[in-house]
Amino acid sequence: MTDDAPVQNEQVKKVIFWISTPKIFFYSLFYLVAILVAGTLTQSELGIYEAQERYFSAWVTWCFDAVPVPGGRTILVLISFNLFCKLVFKSVWRLKSMGVNIAHIGTMLLMVGALLTAYFSIEGSMYIPEGGSSRYYIDNEKMSFSIIDTSPVEYNNVMAFSGRHLHIGSELKHKNFPGSIKILDYHRNAALELTDEKTTGEWRGWAKRHSIIPKLLEKESGKNRAALVVKVSGCDESSNGWHMVAQVEGPTVEVRAAGKVYQLIIGPRVYQLPHNIRFELVDFIAEYHPGTRRPRHFSSDIRIHQNGTLREARIQMNEPLRMHGYTFYQSSFEQKMDGQEATILSVVKNYGQWFPYISSIIICIGIALHLLLHYPAYLTRIVRMWAA
């Protein structure tokens, strides 16, 4: 064992040396540029979120929908690893290379922040009509399927399945639901079409006279309308069979089992605000440049209800409200023909929020220091010129 140790160390050193070489960084950047260009070009067709999922945030990207190639996330991880190895094992810590090293540390921090944001951030939006209130926000990018037990008198028992369960062949089971649900067909965006009554298959309810027409994804996720066909089993005989569940369109699907009624719902993922918080929209103000319909300023006067306490706040463009780790931004608004207004607030919880701030300062200090250390004559000349 002891004889092998130096050899092993030598091999480890070689591997580390290879991993930390700038060549990897160089070619990874090249590849990242290719992913960046390809992803950006498809945004006009797919929309920003879908392109992000397929290219930038993906471990694997499908080239021409046929060949799997490393996705943006894989490359970013590779670059981070390369940078880390370079920093720890290869960087020379002397004054001349201090600028570069500092810039690399800043970049590493930026990557850590990006990782935290990618995995732990929550984003959504709140719609509150003037005079109304809400304690929920929805994430239009992520879908969920819910089975709602409506039998309790004072509340509903909701069994929610996240978007990762929504694919053909997936079987949804829950301890509080006596039956089981299997997904036979699923489309993130679809329309429903009235058809002649179907004579084949075990169709139930309004699904007997409707078909799902798949549609291309909308650029704005909120405009997509999901639809799916599920096979219900283990429930009452009248409920067992094929049901069609659609977002917004069609009546609510109800199945019966063990004397209870369960509703099947597909829709965007809904979150509840923390600490029993409820937002009430007191007033929404939209100002326009005089004589135009170009918005100059809009703001929402909010009353925040929390466990019996009440306080007021204003959320406006470029001035969000921050509380309990959440940030609420003035995102959009709605004005109806009858004069009724509603505000749309973005809700974000991001654990990596401060990383870009810190890392950007470090990166800029690093590059500036590098310039100062490597081009002193040039800078001295400029300073002298201005002084003169």
Partner 1 sequence: MMFIRIFLCLMMCLTLVSEEAEQKFDTSAFASVVVQHQGRLKPIDTFARSSLLGFHGKQRFAKQQASEWLMDVLTNRNLAYELKVFTIRSPAVVQSIGVKAEKENRYSLAQLKDAFMTHEPLIRALAEREDSELDETETQLVQKYNQVTFYVMLIQSTSCFWPDIVINDAALAKQFGVQPGAKLSYFFFADNRATLRQVLLDSSKKKEADQNYDDSALRDLWQVLDKRPVQESGMNFAVLPPAKGGEQWRSPWDILNASSMNDADQVLMRTLNDAFAALHDGDQDAFNTHVQTYKDAVQYRDRIDLEVSYNSADLFYRAMYFYIGAFLCILVLGMTKQPTWRKLALVLMYTGAALHLTGVGMRMYIMTRPPVTTLYESVLFASLISVATGLLVEHYRKDATGLLAASFIAVVLSFIGFSYAAEGDTMGMLEAVLDSDFWLATHVLTIIIGYGVSMIAGLYGHMMLVQLIQFPEDKEKNKEMLTTARGIALVALFFTTLGTILGGIWADQSWGRFWGWDPKENGALLIVLWLLIAIHGHISGEIKQIGFAMFLSLTTVCVALAWFGVNLLSVGLHSYGFSDKTAVALFLFCGLELVIVTVAAAWAKLKQRELQSAAV
Short-list 140, 137, 122, 143, CA closest to 345: 137
* Residue with the two structure tokens 């021409």: 64
- 368 is a site residue for partner 1 (CB under 8 A): yes
Contact 91, 301 (CB under 8 A): no
Only one of the segments 12-20, 209-217, 266-274, 314-322 lies at the binding site for partner 1 (rule: CB under 8 A); that segment is 314-322
- 320 is a site residue for partner 1 (CB under 8 A): yes
- 22 is a site residue for partner 1 (CB under 8 A): yes
Helix-helix angle 376-387:355-374, to 10 degrees? 90
* Helix, strand, or coil (residue 51): helix
- 89 is a site residue for partner 1 (CB under 8 A): no
Helix (H) or strand (E) holding 60, with range, is strand 60-63
Residue 189 is given by DSSP the state S
- 216 is a site residue for partner 1 (CB under 8 A): no
Nearer to partner 1, 122 or 257 (CB): 122
Least distance from partner 1 to the Cβ atom of residue 8, Å? 27
Only one of the segments 58-66, 134-142, 277-285, 350-358 lies at the binding site for partner 1 (rule: CB under 8 A); that segment is 350-358
CB hemisphere CA count around 245 (13 angstroms):
27
- 360 is a site residue for partner 1 (CB under 8 A): yes
- 298 is a site residue for partner 1 (CB under 8 A): yes
- 289 is a site residue for partner 1 (CB under 8 A): yes
* Residue with the two structure tokens 């590849």: 31
- Map the footprint of partner 1 across residues 28-67, applying CB under 8 A: 29-30, 32-33, 36-37, 39-41, 43-44, 47-48, 51-52, 56
Measured distance CA(148)–CA(1) in Å, rounded:
63
* Residue with the two structure tokens 């209870």: 260
- 179 is a site residue for partner 1 (CB under 8 A): no
Least distance from partner 1 to the Cβ atom of residue 341, Å? 15
- Taking the alpha carbons at both ends of the chain, their separation in whole angstroms is 70
Measured distance CA(68)–CA(72) in Å, rounded:
12
Least distance from partner 1 to the Cβ atom of residue 44, Å? 4
Measured distance CA(212)–CA(227) in Å, rounded:
7
Residues that bind partner 1 (CB under 8 A): 21-23, 25-27, 29-30, 32-33, 36-37, 39-41, 43-44, 47-48, 51-52, 56, 113-114, 117, 121, 123, 219, 288-292, 294-298, 317-318, 320, 327, 329, 331, 346-348, 350, 353, 356-357, 359-360, 363-364, 367-368, 370-371, 374-375, 378, 381-382, 385
